């Protein structure tokens, strides 16, 4: 039972990061400069790149997804701390 709880905590810990990557992947379809998700992820992995979250890089149709990406980026650290301290 201990292994199941540990796996559950690990999944909860990484959940906002995985959701953020999924939103960035979907958001790449709305980029104005035409660079795809590969360019976003490579620049994002190199350093925590907040330039990928700029409003002027995306069309009007992608602004709702961009707000979700910002929400997930902001909530990631408190979420991970909370899950790690309360459940870990």
Q: What's the pLDDT tens digit per position in 28-60?
A: 889 888 777 766 666 655 556 677 788 888 899
CA-wise closest residue to 73 among 59, 87, 52, 55: 52
Supply the pLDDT for residue 21: 86
pLDDT band at 75 (very low <50, low <70, confident <90, very high): very high
**24-48 residues labelled b (16+ CB within 10 A) or e (exposed):** beebbebbeeeeebeebbeebeeee
The total number of structural domains that make up the chain: 1
Query: Which range marks the domain in which residue 40 is found?
Result: 2-86
């Amino acid at each position: 039972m201990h292994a199941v709880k540990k796996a559950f905590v690990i999944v909860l810990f990484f959940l906002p990061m995985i959701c953020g990557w999924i939103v960035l992947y979907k958001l790449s379809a709305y980029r104005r400069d035409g660079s795809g998700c590969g360019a976003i992820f490579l620049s994002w992995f190199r350093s925590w790149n907040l330039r990928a979250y700029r409003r002027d890089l995306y069309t009007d149709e992608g602004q709702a997804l961009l707000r979700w990406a910002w929400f997930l980026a902001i909530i990631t650290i408190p979420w991970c701390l909370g899950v790690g301290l309360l459940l870990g």
